[in-house]
Amino acid sequence: MRKRFKKLPKFKSEDEERDFWATADSSEYFDWNKAERVIFPNLKPSTETISLRLPQYLLARIKQIANFKDVPYQSLIKIFLAERVAKELKG
């Protein structure tokens, strides 16, 4: 016997859809056994600009390391932060 899935409502906005999925059980609407993995190779994560005050000596050292590694210093800061956040979340 095939499971009958609920009909997906029409949403007026992304906010409305977001609120819906925050409480809905998606398995009542989709057969996840038939789902296929999708890869979005060109999708870039959203970023937010922040202002960060650093001591001059620290920024100079970061720029020195970035120059040695041949990467932009802001990219290096993002790498350092991502690595530290991952470490903190592990343990």
Instruction: Please say whether the beta carbons of 9 and 20 come within 8 A.
Output: yes
In this prediction the pTM is 0.54
Q: How does 50-88 read in b/e, with b if 16+ C-beta sit within 10 Å?
A: eeeeeeeeeeeebeeebeeeeeebeebbeeeeeeeeeee
Q: What is the pLDDT of residues 21-68, one digit of tens each?
A: 999 999 999 999 999 988 888 888 888 999 999 999 999 999 999 999
76 pLDDT exceeds 80?
A: yes
Mean pLDDT estimate for the chain: 93
